[in-house]
Chain A
Amino acid sequence: MSTTWNEATSMTASPITEQHPPGDFDPWRVREDFPIFRQRIRGKPLVYLDNAASTHKPQVVIDAVSRFYGEEYSNIHRGVHYLSQQATDLYEDARRTVRQFLNAKHDEEIIFVRGTTEAINLVAQTFGRMNIGEGDEVLISAIEHHANIVPWQMICKEKGASLKVIPMDQHGDLKLEQFEAMITDRTRLVSLVHVSNALGTVNPVKEMIATAHRHGVPVFIDGAQSVQHLPVDVQDLDCDFFAMSGHKIYGPTGIGVLYGKKALLEDMPPYQGGGDMILSVTFEHTVYNDIPYKFEAGTPNIAGAIGLAAALKYFQGHDITALAAHEERLLHHATENLRNIDEVRLIGTAKQKASVLSFTLCAVHPHDIGTILDQHGIAIRAGHHCAQPVMQHFGIPATARASFSFYNTMEDVDALVHAIHSVLEVFS
């Protein structure tokens, strides 16, 4: 890793020529599916490298949502009329699509939520409230997003339990040799990020789940950054809970999924009270509905679920292995080029990474990098990426982060590298 910070700029460096053949995956053809790329940003073609924050939407997703509102719309469940039955069918079909996508065993193990954050809060406030007591422990890792820290902190504080953290090394890999020893007879849950949003680290969650299970401890996997990059099979992983967000996998915002093993979900108390989550209500007593409805109080994001199903079908219409290989090439190309710039410090050089590239530039704050790149029509993210403990570990306030999707091209990476040289020129 090039961590040498040098005052001299290397303005003459040109991007490394990509050695790998592009393979049969053609990102240019994929881009035609995404209307956003038809426009220019600040007079330049859009180079969108903020995919870890959110992905763009293919026309099929936009059409599915639009068609639902224009032709198929109604509220779902209990409606006796045609449109309501149709909307209910579409909503439940979407649940089935998600079930197939994650390879869950049962449709009712799929709960629609707003996103990964809500999924984690749901489990913290139901499973957590029921199972975590005074003196108990919840085990998370040092590379978590705030969404997989704060909900556990809240329930631990309320119950007098403690939050323990699996440490990471200087590359952004978890110190796995310490993991098993951190599981005690007071550990009630292990909650782990699958892929780090700030560093790109892919955690070996399958092995970690097996380790936790040897001690009888259930495991929650935060899949917000994984499902769009790696094939995920919840039965193969054997995770007890899994969460994902629709908008990060080419679907709409405001829709996400909580997967939970049926027996666990059935034992858990409801999250929110209201319509749809009940079987019968009197002023004295309420009988809760079965899963998944027990956890879906109120009118859900019906259009979101339908849009998510369209996104998952679109995504699965591609060869996921070819797509992952393309993203790997993009990451490799970007990493190698950035390594060649003396002023660049790469943050996150884990053994296995998804296509997330965090970096800092000597003497240039990430916010300034972001502003200058934006003037080149390049969208990256600059900040702490909702992972302040990760920033603290590396002793930095923030990073600039480029994150790639399968619709990105080698030319996007070259534009990034070129623009980073411009940043250095401004600050030389």
Chain B
Amino acid sequence: MDELRDLYQEIILDHNKNPQNFHKLVDADFTLEGFNPLCGDHYTFYLKLDGETIEDIGFEGSGCAISKASASLMSSILKGKRKEEAEHLFSLFTDIVTGKIDPAEHIEELGKLAAFAGVADFPVRVKCATLPWHTMHGALQGKQDNITTE
């Protein structure tokens, strides 16, 4: 059951219950949907840019605790970050939840995102954690088609 506690950390449960930036941005520069057909997680992400900086970010939709908390934490962390920093965190986050790198070596960079390290022990849940990040990445790349995890 230790793995379970590692997965459902307090911060993840809190963000699931009270997600941050859980609203639409009417003046978004980029809007993109992310969908996990396997379990039905479905979110729409809104990004507002100021030059190379993410000025605001919001999301709507529904899904499991892992995906919703991931979307919530991502949105609060990326606000005010430059696009290249966001892309760097995307790749770092993906490497952490897939167990490719040791989160202990990136504690400072990861900040609250380190809470998702436990996902690496649950391979079927990796897609839940990465769906918001893949969608954000797609939006920054100017993709128009919905992002799916399958």
Q: Does B26 contact A (CB under 8 A)?
A: no
- Taking a contact as CB atoms closer than 8 A, the residue among A367, A375, A426 that contacts B64 in the complex is A367
Nearest A-chain residue to B38, judged by Cβ: A383
CB atoms of A366 and B39 under 8 A apart: yes
CB-CB < 8 A to A384: which residues of B? 40
Give how many A-B residue pairs fall within 8 Å (CB-CB): 51
Chain B residues in 8 Å Cβ range of A372 = 4, 8
Question: Quick one: given A367-B128, A383-B40, A397-B40, are A426 and B66 in contact (CB under 8 Å)?
Answer: no
Query: Measured between alpha carbons, how far is A367 from B69 in the docked complex, in Å?
Result: 14
Asked whether B81 is an interface residue with its Cβ less than 8 Å from the other chain, the reply is no
Q: Is A258 an interface residue when CB atoms closer than 8 A count as contact? A: no
A383 contacts across to B, CB distance below 8 A: 38-40
User: Is B99 close to A, CB under 8 A?
Assistant: no
Q: Do B42 and A375 have beta carbons less than 8 Å apart?
A: no
Q: Which residues of A contact B17 (CB under 8 A)?
A: 363
The reply on A64 being an interface residue by CB < 8 A is no
Q: Which chain A residues numbered 340 to 381 have a C-beta less than 8 Å away from chain B?
A: 363-368, 371-372, 375
Residue in B closest to A375 when the chains form the complex, CB atoms: B4
A205 nearest CB across to chain B (Å):
29
Q: Interface residues of A, CB < 8 Å — how many?
A: 17
Partner of A367, one of B1, B39, B42: B39
Distance from B51 Cβ to chain A, minimum over Cβ atoms (Å) = 37
Q: Is the CB of A427 within 8 A of B13?
A: yes
B4's partner among A364, A366, A398, A426 (CB-CB below 8 A) is A426
A192 within 8 A of B: no
Q: Please state if B1 and A368 are interface contacts (CB–CB under 8 Å).
A: no
- Given A383-B38, A383-B39, A427-B13, A371 contacting B62 (CB threshold 8 A): no
Tell me if B109 is interfacial: C-beta within 8 Å of chain A. Answer: no
Q: Are B13 and A398 in contact (CB under 8 A)?
A: no
Q: CA of A372 to CA of B66 in the docked complex: distance in angstroms?
A: 12
Docked pose: A372 CA to B7 CA in angstroms: 10
Residues of B within 8 A of A365 (CB): 39, 41, 62-65
Binary flags per residue of B23-44, CB closer than 8 Å to A gives 1, else 0: 0000000000000001111100
CB–CB B39/A398 < 8 A: yes
List of B residues within 8 angstroms of A363 by Cβ: 17
- CB neighbours (8 Å) of A397 from chain B are 39-42, 62-63
- A363 to B65 alpha-carbon distance, docked (Å): 9
**Smallest distance from the beta carbon of A311 to chain B beta carbons, Å?**
29
- Interface membership of A110, Cβ < 8 A: no
Shortest CB-to-CB span from A428 to chain B, Å, is 9
B 101-145 contacts with A by CB, 8 A: 122, 124-125, 128
Does A368 lie within 8 Å of B64, measured CB to CB? Answer: yes
Task: Determine the distance from Cα of A275 to Cα of B122 in the docked complex, in whole angstroms.
Answer: 45
Interface check A139, CB cutoff 8 A: no
Q: How far is the CA of A90 from the CA of B66 in the complex (A)?
A: 51
Rounded to whole angstroms, the CA-CA distance of A317 and B41 in the bound complex is: 44
- Min CB distance B129 to A, Å, is 12
Q: Would you call A391 and B40 a contact (CB within 8 A)?
A: yes
Q: Does residue A277 face the partner (Cβ distance < 8 Å to B)?
A: no
Select which of B3, B40, B122, B125 is within 8 A of A398 by beta carbon: B40
Proximity bits, A415-428, B CB within 8 Å = 1, else 0: 00000000000110
Chain A residues within 8 Å of B41, by CB? 365, 367, 397
Bound-complex Cα distance A270 to B122 (A): 46
Asked if A382 is an interface residue, CB under 8 A from chain B, the answer is yes
Min distance, Cβ A365 to any Cβ of chain B, angstroms: 4
Q: How far is the CA of A273 from the CA of B62 in the complex (A)?
A: 46
Q: How far is the CA of A391 from the CA of B13 in the complex (A)?
A: 25
* Distance in Å: Cβ of A22 to nearest Cβ of chain B: 31
Contact call B40/A371, Cβ cutoff below 8 A: no
**In the bound complex, do residue B122 and residue A371 qualify as a contact, i.e. CB atoms below 8 Å apart?**
yes
User: Can you list 27 A-B contacts (CB < 8 A)?
Assistant: A363-B17, A364-B65, A365-B39, A365-B62, A365-B63, A365-B65, A367-B39, A367-B41, A367-B64, A367-B66, A368-B66, A372-B4, A375-B3, A383-B40, A384-B40, A391-B40, A397-B39, A397-B40, A397-B41, A397-B42, A397-B62, A426-B4, A426-B8, A426-B13, A427-B8, A427-B13, A427-B65
